[in-house]
Structure 1
Amino acid sequence: MGLFENEYGYFSDDGSEYIIKTPFTPRPWVNAISNGEYSFIVSQTGGGYSWRFSAGENRLTRSFQDIIEDRWGKYIYIRDNDTAQCWSLSYKPMCREPEHYEVHHGIGYTTFIQEYKGIESRWTLFAVPGQPLEIWRVKLINKSDRKRSLDLFTYMEWTLGNAPDEHREFHKLFIDTQYNNDINGFTVRKYMSDLANAKGQHSNRSWDYVAFHTSSLKPVSYDGDKESFIGMYCDEKNPKAVHDRVLARNVGRFGDAIASLQVSVNLEPYEQESLCFTLGCADNGEQAIVLAKRYNDTRECEAAFESMKNFWKPLLQNEIIRTPDKAMDFMTNTWLKYQAISCRIWGRAGYYQVSGGYGYRDQLQDSLIFLESAPEYTKERILIHAGKQHSDGTVLHWWMPLGNWGSITTCSDDLLWLPYVTENYIKETDDYSILDEVVPYYDGGEDTLYCHCVKAIERSFMRFSPRGIPLIGENDWNDGLNGIGLDMKGESFWVGEFLYAILTDFIPIMRLKADDILADKCVDVQSVLKENINKFGWDGQWYIQATTDWGDKIGSKDNKEGWIYLNPQTWAVISGIADEKRRKQCMDAVTEYLFKDCGTLLLYPAYSEPSEALGYISRYAPGLRENGGVYTHAATWAVVAYIMAGQPEKAYELYQKICPPNRSYDIDSYKVEPYVTPGNTDGPQSPNFGRGGWTWYSGSAQWLHRVAVQWILGIRPEKDGLLIAPAIPSAWDGFRYTRLFRGTIYDILINNNAHVNSGIKEIKLDDKKIDGNKLPDLRDGKCHKVEVIMG
């Protein structure tokens, strides 16, 4: 038995791979692979697509969202020339039943392993670090006792720009496919882009790149036209071309653009051969040729694969935990970091949501994942996001990187994530110099990052109701509440709690910058927030979520539906706005009404009828996503709140319910990948209670990592060192945590022979006792041994 094994797959012993045993998973189980610039997604059947920079603006290969058929992909067909039998190196598109089938999703790569008709094939796809291309490494092994003559045919359809290309009959007219003998493959251009030209015209600009697809073996033939390859009224499952002796060699500007290369491999009994293919998106034709020639060499492909593995090591291994909980170990050490970095920050696309855009609050939160491994990446994201702020403090809700356009809304929490992430970056690094970085405003002019953060805070001060509560505007963190505050009268108690928490950490920064007048003002605002949220937001047993423009309460016992929301309870605790009595009351209400078998619901009970006045949250079916489902992002905050409310066992119980490998044991109910976090899980009012959804492209990955290390294991950065404050299950004997902190490695061994939840009896640093429960900031570049005895 493999680790967390179910009917469909299991983790490798070290948790670094998820091994899928069958193509018939309950949903597509995918890998989202990116090197920071070039990205692709591949499913266990071979479905998926590729892009550079932006999956929405610069899609390389065609795909349409369809998690049932999962039929769009990049494929390799294989033909036995003696028997005329054909199959594919992944299950799709030919859907043959192999004697053996495995898919290994790893960090930065996916490998298909199968055996069919005496041929074992191993097809590995990965993105080359620092280069705009992916490599397909293929190994074929003849396991039969006869000589085999095999032909391989690659296949993909081009998009080359905005996706999805719904007007295909129009877009295909502009693609030019050319075969180049010198590179054993294609270069492809497109003479129309949806991006505007220098004069602001659309549809009057060429695509900015040159695509290429090449082979390490000299092709026997090739084809660049879908009609001649597939055949009229045929499909990818049984294309005409693989039954013809050679491909049609159609190229140019007059077909429906694809790329297919035909190569021949002859194998003696038990002989094997390796070859590789490239697929890339170069800046120009010259770069395409240089890259193709370089990576048509199988030795370069092997070197690139090793480079890819080394590329990921520091991002994952600068922080390692070893606990009695294997699910926590696998997710924290590997998959949550990989999901947040490869998919959320770099790729920005998944199977359930195709974007390519940057969400202001989204990628800022995601960037916290770098703090323990490479905080310079967090700094980069902070400065990029600061540049999307207007001089009045408002920000773009989201923007597209290539077209440089975005959405301006009155969303009430977007702008506040800039100071939040900045203060967390400073806690980790003690790098106050970031505040002096000069960043341009989106609408002109420039200022220091400190001033950008202050502008965000002051703008939020201008959005208060007469009762002293922040306005919700078009929405707060809960996007679905987009009908209640359009007239800028409705209030958000959650935003008030969030702002209160931000000010707690930013006031000392203001003092450091000698901005005492503003700091004093912020102290006053905190006092007002605490008083008014407790006065107007307390509903007797819990805090309400919001009020509407017309004064109705949202998340109140007086409501017919949606009478308790999760976020205002958890952040009342996290922010410190709730006193000890109310802290207990509101978290008891969370336990009573929201804590279910698959996590904490975002609200309860779900809305049963659509309401334009409420917003699109009510348009989901009851129990789906925000409407009474478990929204994983918010559930992670509940873990923190339980710990801060003195309920560590409850916090750990919740953590286990939302930690994906633990759903391996009811996988047919859960359905989605058990190695990455889902955006949501169906709540009890759904007939599919416990079903996961919207995996990979979810902000919950970073947060699940953060609550594990900083709150359950309880090791978190402060200005003058690392605080040690575990809140673990009393049954644990202890754990080990090794991390890089300000250039120094701390190897921390926690001994819990006393079997308590919390409390520190003794700490030794390099065999010397220290006072308190904070490790000093040594910054000596060495490795230090830390022994902690709980009690």
Structure 2
Amino acid sequence: MQYGHFDNENREYVIDRVDLPTSWTNYIGVKDMCAVLNHTAGGYIFYKSPEYHRITRFRPNGVPMDRPGHYVYLRDDESGDYWSVSWQPVGKPLDQAKYTCRHGMSYSVYECDYSDIFASQKMSVAMDDPVEIWDVRIKNNSDRTRKLSVFSYLEFSFHQIAMDNQNFQMSMYASGSSYEDGIIECDLFYEEFGYQFFTADFTPDSYDCLRDKFIGSYRTEDNPIGVENGHLSGSSELGNNHCGALHKQLVLKPGEEVRVIFLLGEGTRENGKKIRAKYANGPAADHVYEQLKVCWDKKINRLQIHTPDEGMNTLINTWTLYQAEVNIMFSRFASFIEVGGRTGLGYRDTSQGSMTVPHSNPEKCRQRIVELLRGLVKEGYGLHLFQPEWFDPEEKGKKPFKSPTVVPTPKLDDMIHGIEDTCSDDALWLVASINEYIKETGEFSFLDEIYTYADGGEGSVYEHMKRILDFSCRQVGEDGICKGLRADWNDCLNLGGGESAMEFYHALCPYYQNDKIEIREAEPYSYCQFVVGKDHTAFGRARHPFMTGTGGWAYYSATHYMLGIRPGMDALEIDPCIPKGWDGFTLTRQWRGAQYDITVENPEHVSKGVCQIFLDGALTEKIPVQEAGSTHKVRIVMGSTQDEKEEAK
């Protein structure tokens, strides 16, 4: 059964049926602010840390599923009927209303056609400022003038995940809300910089700052009393649970369309005024979308493939790269599964993630590698899970998070675990990541840069790598086999030929499960951490999307080893391993500032083996680094070399 389709032209996944068996999520943002939103606008947003700096609240594993969210309600002020632009939370019957969700690159769009009113809600985060933009369009498709109201709703968090989930005798009195000049401000009393704001491009007709006043007693987001009444109560309080609810009355003539913009941002009301002046208009929102498009075009165009396999083309050219990028941007700590209570960098996870996208995001990969270098102890092992801020010299002088509840602050020495909690393979992945980074960028001087160790002292990048290898060489048993220590990641497989590799690729590829959602359930545009095995009662069900190394490894293995495009220290190696039935494939690859337009021919229909390499028409032994800004034609002919043919005789 299908619930949606891939729109390759717009790089979107379009969900036509919104009554999905589980949440299909997207990540909104590319820098410090990130929203995790599903196909019905449920989810949450955080700034830098979902554990210590979440902005909106989320109740994971709850009923109804995936509440609350970032919602826009519409109300017919003549009939009293109301609905939400996203299918949930109101949930109009799908035989009466048409709902669509389009997940794109760092944005999502919710569309609703109901009661002759078409509405859309586009969610994005600006690249230049920590502000989420809700771009709402409402069109009257009826033949009569309509009197409508539009309402926003979000539920503010107490910032720290523990504050949201325990000790409410403290939490309920730890923040306040107020309204002034069209801006709702939420103030976390116990934090010096604990302010958020919510505003819009209009002067509200009414507002609510208190969740329970907007929702009402014995009600939910499905049927808030404020929307039902058509007017909000003007609530605010020092203490309690807070929300961002703004209301505007509209009169639309037949065929008329209006655009309304809401803004959720980081900072005080004064900062909100500046952000509102900058972003609360259509052209400013359009500029944000163009910036995001340019950002992702730049990343995606670093490698574009055209093979006989449609699923591989769709995922490698867009979605699997996107998943790998999301992992390197936000690590593994923000999803509907990892809900923010265990943040920090996993040493193995982050090392592997840094291997996958140095071509599309070298700056972030470098940042992660440096953070991992600082999370290494002199003995040569990595801290399995740590906060980069612990060892960042620029962060050490800043005040740490201090809960209003009296909880002893652990010392940094307590964060550095011993060998009894060490995973044997963690730091080894960093050696591979540094190699991949240098091969991609050519930044050999990086090896000489000096960074600290987690337990004191400092050394060059090369010395860090040497300590890692020395530690691993010491951790062997009497039989010479490496010790696993606390745990390792020893589940790699060497599949061999191109036929079996493609068979396994297809079996795992979510693209080819798009018409089996009643079995898979999870997103067909994202690899998942788990797929239930045949001995389980839920055989075939996938869980834990996006935040898994599966996406990065699928991208790395497909591009580096199946298609065989591997940067080296001084040359670009091309050695495909493909199905024999392929006639060949083409791709473009940007490497160290030059572009390579590559054609691979397979006249002998072999699975592996290159017999000829041509660079700009000339036969060559290898493809060396070319001048930055130049473009080159590369032709690879697969088959047996002359020596191999002579041997075969």
Q: What is the TM-score of this pair, normalised by structure 1?
A: 0.74
1:238 aligned partner: 223
Q: Deviation string for 1:242-262 (max 9, x for gaps)?
A: 122421111131432111111
1:173 aligns with 2:23: no
1:697 aligns with 2:550: no
**Distance in 2 between the 1:319 and 1:78 partners?**
43
**Distance in 1 between the 2:388 and 2:133 partners?**
25
User: 667, 672, 696: which one pairs with 2:522?
Assistant: 672
SS of alignment partner, residue 784 of structure 1: strand
Gap runs ≥5 in structure 1: 1-5, 193-205, 478-493, 495-566, 571-637
**Distance in 1 between the 2:523 and 2:624 partners?**
40
1:642 aligns with 2:641: no
The alpha-carbon deviation at position 330 of structure 1 amounts to 1.3
Alignment of structure 1 residues 408-427 onto 2, 5 Å: 408=417, 409-427=421-439
1:540 aligned partner: none
Residue pair 2:126, 2:132 contacting (<8 A) in 1 also: yes
The alpha-carbon deviation at position 370 of structure 1 amounts to 2.4
User: 310, 313, 318: which one pairs with 1:326?
Assistant: 310
1:380 aligned partner: 367
**Distance in 2 between the 1:407 and 1:258 partners?**
39
Residue pair 1:57, 1:402 contacting (<8 A) in 2 also: no
Q: Deviation string for 1:328-347 (max 9, x for gaps)?
A: 11111111121122245326
Residue pair 2:208, 2:235 contacting (<8 A) in 1 also: yes
Cα separation, partners in 2 of 1:686 and 1:440, compared to 1, 3 Å: same
- Supply the AA of the counterpart residue of 2:76: D
SS of alignment partner, residue 789 of structure 1: strand
**Distance in 1 between the 2:614 and 2:180 partners?**
66
**Distance in 2 between the 1:427 and 1:80 partners?**
60
Between 211-220 and 243-252, report the one with greater CA deviation.
243-252
Cα separation, partners in 2 of 1:731 and 1:413, compared to 1, 3 Å: same
SS of alignment partner, residue 172 of structure 2: helix
Residue pair 2:352, 2:430 contacting (<8 A) in 1 also: no
Residue pair 1:78, 1:151 contacting (<8 A) in 2 also: yes
SS of alignment partner, residue 372 of structure 2: helix
2:30 aligned partner: 35
Q: Deviation string for 1:388-414 (max 9, x for gaps)?
A: 122232322112356777563222111
**Distance in 2 between the 1:351 and 1:255 partners?**
25
Residue pair 2:422, 2:487 contacting (<8 A) in 1 also: yes
Residue pair 1:763, 1:788 contacting (<8 A) in 2 also: yes
**Distance in 2 between the 1:146 and 1:450 partners?**
73
**Distance in 2 between the 1:783 and 1:335 partners?**
26
The alpha-carbon deviation at position 33 of structure 1 amounts to 2.1
1:718 aligns with 2:571: no
User: 501, 510, 525: which one pairs with 1:660?
Assistant: 510
**Distance in 1 between the 2:175 and 2:204 partners?**
22
1:473 aligns with 2:485: yes
1:130 aligned partner: 128
- Supply the AA of the counterpart residue of 1:711: Y
User: 329, 335, 341: which one pairs with 2:325?
Assistant: 341
Larger RCO, structures 1/2 (Cα 8 Å, 6+ apart): 2
Residue pair 2:139, 2:256 contacting (<8 A) in 1 also: yes
SS of alignment partner, residue 384 of structure 2: strand
The alpha-carbon deviation at position 67 of structure 1 amounts to 7.1
2:408 aligned partner: none
- Supply the AA of the counterpart residue of 1:465: G
Number of equivalences: 606
**Distance in 1 between the 2:327 and 2:111 partners?**
24
Alignment of structure 1 residues 458-469 onto 2, 5 Å: 458-469=470-481
Residue pair 1:210, 1:288 contacting (<8 A) in 2 also: no
The alpha-carbon deviation at position 467 of structure 1 amounts to 2.6
Between 218-227 and 373-382, report the one with greater CA deviation.
373-382
1:522 aligned partner: none
1:149 aligns with 2:147: yes
1:760 aligned partner: 610
The alpha-carbon deviation at position 317 of structure 1 amounts to 1.5
**Distance in 2 between the 1:707 and 1:432 partners?**
24
Cα separation, partners in 2 of 1:46 and 1:433, compared to 1, 3 Å: same
2:631 aligned partner: 783
Gap runs ≥5 in structure 2: 392-411, 640-649
**Distance in 2 between the 1:191 and 1:67 partners?**
28
SS of alignment partner, residue 270 of structure 1: coil
The alpha-carbon deviation at position 163 of structure 1 amounts to 1.6
The alpha-carbon deviation at position 361 of structure 1 amounts to 1.5
Give % identity: 32
1:391 aligns with 2:378: yes
Residue pair 1:344, 1:698 contacting (<8 A) in 2 also: no
User: 331, 339, 342: which one pairs with 1:354?
Assistant: 339
Cα separation, partners in 2 of 1:710 and 1:329, compared to 1, 3 Å: same
**Distance in 1 between the 2:40 and 2:507 partners?**
29
Between 463-472 and 54-63, report the one with greater CA deviation.
463-472
Cα separation, partners in 2 of 1:401 and 1:275, compared to 1, 3 Å: farther
SS of alignment partner, residue 27 of structure 2: strand
The alpha-carbon deviation at position 175 of structure 1 amounts to 1.3
- Supply the AA of the counterpart residue of 1:716: R
- Supply the AA of the counterpart residue of 1:334: T
**Distance in 1 between the 2:580 and 2:542 partners?**
30
- Supply the AA of the counterpart residue of 1:124: K
The alpha-carbon deviation at position 71 of structure 1 amounts to 2.8
User: 179, 183, 196: which one pairs with 1:211?
Assistant: 196
Residue pair 1:15, 1:330 contacting (<8 A) in 2 also: no
Residue pair 2:371, 2:388 contacting (<8 A) in 1 also: no
1:433 aligned partner: 445
The alpha-carbon deviation at position 768 of structure 1 amounts to 1.7
1:263 aligned partner: 248
**Distance in 1 between the 2:172 and 2:153 partners?**
17
Q: What is the TM-score of this pair, normalised by structure 2?
A: 0.90
User: 447, 457, 468: which one pairs with 1:456?
Assistant: 468
The RMSD of aligned alpha carbons is 1.9
- Supply the AA of the counterpart residue of 1:78: L
- Supply the AA of the counterpart residue of 2:78: D
Residue pair 2:17, 2:99 contacting (<8 A) in 1 also: yes
Cα separation, partners in 2 of 1:377 and 1:225, compared to 1, 3 Å: closer
The alpha-carbon deviation at position 293 of structure 1 amounts to 2.6
2:208 aligned partner: 223
Residue pair 2:329, 2:364 contacting (<8 A) in 1 also: no
The alpha-carbon deviation at position 312 of structure 1 amounts to 1.8
1:732 aligned partner: 582
User: 79, 85, 105: which one pairs with 2:81?
Assistant: 85
- Supply the AA of the counterpart residue of 1:227: D
SS of alignment partner, residue 124 of structure 1: strand
